[in-house]
Chains A and B, each alone.
Chain A
């Protein structure tokens, strides 16, 4: 289960408060060290600052889109080990493909099943470990 040496750090980039609330609840229960950014423009500095293990990244954000943030992370060699899980409400196959092409490690469609999200988060953190 959770790493005994140190807690995984997760950053939630999500502008919708209710989703953020739900994710906060889940991350706490899973025992992750987590924090949240509501604005796209602030996301990249926070990621650089925090160097999280995983970013839960919404696509539609004020300031900068999730794709732009994702690309920003991938262009920064210092952040190579940061995993990115993208979330969107309109998850067509083409959007998923775009997300993965830009460098996301996973792509998940809202509304998501709790189980589905939990497993995807664990998969990404375990492979990163």
Chain B
């Protein structure tokens, strides 16, 4: 029991007991002496002596206690407090040694220990910081790399939910709904081939095995070539996997077209060829042809030559469609050639129209570069210039020079040379063939000469498309998360949330008010996922009162081309699949969703949380629970421009929820069920929707 008292009190009690013992001892001594003496008249003298002795003894004990308390107990207390502060928090100031000067080496020893602790701690913090910095740099590098690789990359958990994706994967798989973390892969890809490949890889038992598969998007619009590799880890449960995706729809259809053309070539040639041989075979050599048979021969021949011409034309068309020709900017082509020639000490003037050429830029530049050097060396061409002009749906590249005209014989010899000395199998001639074009010399105005190189397909360049921001989205914790089916027992941070807000034509859905804008964000694994945003305007198919426009700034003209409510709700339902819905004043927003359920054949039966009620749980009912008040209390600022836009309020609500979550946990409300029970106590404030 005494252990629990503080040191100073224990010391005090010790001295108090000592004082008491001394008084008792003196009393007993005086009592014994008085009884031995047996002289009642001596009583007053004894009492006087007893009082003096007792008083002096107590005074001495009190004095020693005071010195002991001030110079031993108190400094020890202060010293231990200071040590404890240094042990548990990062107090770094030096300790005051003077207060413990009577404690010998204790204070300097404690100071030295504390100083050493501080040093160790700051060294540790420094190395942790260095390491963290290195890791985050590496992470940023990897993110850049993965966001820029030309294939879609997905990391999928063993139960087929997404834990990582890059923008390319979004582009490849998007159809209806954009990919999101913790969503099922099979919302985007047909499950059959993926499951099969996954099972096959698990069955091999080889952690390094990879398998190739072809899969289709659920909408069937794309065929993707994929490679799957299992990821390590995942004890017990099925291992997750990495899936790299490449779109082969175009390749496959080009291949199919070529196959079809080839089949048609044989089909249309075989029959006239067979007919011709048969017709000729039945007439003995030297004999005149009967008129009917001659007519038949001519007819078959006509069919054959027409087929050859037509099919050859289609083959040329097909060659420019497929075969590695991409949209190349005329300006880029001109600049590329200029740079190559300048490196070889040849100046080039260039003018290029704003057109995109369907061409292999590298091959064309190399071809022109080689020809220009030949022109300089062999016919002494001077003052080189390049023009690229648009001609209907094609383009003409002209390499012009001042000097002697070029003989076709020489040109043809140059064209037989390889495009690059290191790759002898690709000749300049084959570049012309792959572009299904020709090149020839032609005089141009001003007594200059030129080489003409037509490009069969070109179109006017529109403004360069805004570069797509490539990024990766991930949360690797999703790979190892244990799942329970029961929402009520799930820890708050393990649930997926969709926080949303609507702007409407008015406050009374019963009287025909309608949504004009709906925005939502996803919270996965306790983190708002930046890239996963739902933000759509809605055409309410009714007028928007001025009073509402003043609140949210949406006019009828702005939503004239927006999708209608049914379509948007359907998409929103998909976006919110498997998530807990959160809104600020949820009954209002839910009303707009739920009254359409029957029409849509969809149920908005998600579990619902309301930040108004959560605010009431944390701050009590007497506070104001408006979104402004709540965000202000939590130190969240909504930019003025975003206030009362659906997305601005949504992001604010989501951030508020993320700050409320640890506070709820602090109140031991760690699961969804516990929060719900607590919220229901505030049911008077708002109706609970679960």
Contact = CB atoms under 8 A, between A and B. Distances in A.
Interface residue SS majority, chain B: mixed
B412 A102 contact: no
Top 5 closest A-B pairs, CB basis?
A111-B305, A68-B408, A98-B440, A98-B438, A68-B409
Interface of A: 64-65, 67-68, 71, 75, 90-92, 94-95, 97-98, 101-102, 109, 111
A111 B309 CA distance: 9
B408 A94 contact: no
Contacts of B452: 98, 101
Nearest to A102: B440
A8 to B, nearest CB: 27
A53 to B, nearest CB: 23
B412 A94 contact: no
Which residue, B301, B308, B439, B440, has most C-beta atoms of chain A within 10 A?
B440
A90 B407 contact: no
B662 interface: no
20 contacts: A65-B408, A67-B412, A71-B408, A75-B405, A92-B313, A92-B316, A92-B436, A94-B454, A95-B438, A97-B454, A98-B439, A101-B440, A101-B442, A101-B452, A102-B408, A102-B440, A102-B442, A109-B309, A111-B305, A111-B309
A64 B410 CA distance: 11
Interface string B431-450: 00000111111100000000
Nearest to B432: A94
Nearest to B455: A94
A67 B436 contact: no
A117 to B, nearest CB: 13
Given A67-B408, A98-B438, A111-B308, 8 more contacts: A64-B409, A90-B312, A92-B313, A97-B438, A97-B454, A102-B408, A102-B441, A109-B309
Interface residues of B, number: 22
A60 B527 CA distance: 71
A65 B438 CA distance: 14
Contact of A71 (B312, B407, B437): B407
B190 interface: no
A68 B412 contact: yes
A102 B441 CA distance: 7
B374 interface: no
B528 to A, nearest CB: 57
Contacts of B308: 111
B643 interface: no
B359 to A, nearest CB: 14
Interface in B298-313: 301, 305, 308-309, 312-313
Interface in B450-466: 452, 454, 456
A65 B440 CA distance: 13
Contacts of A75: 405
A42 B234 CA distance: 80
A67 B312 contact: no
A95 B316 CA distance: 13
A65 B436 contact: no
Contacts of B409: 64-65, 68
A97 to B, nearest CB: 7
A90 B313 CA distance: 9
Nearest to A64: B409
A102 B405 CA distance: 12
B407 A68 contact: yes
A95 B439 CA distance: 9
Contacts of B441: 71, 102
A102 B409 CA distance: 13
Contacts of B412: 65, 67-68
A71 B443 CA distance: 12
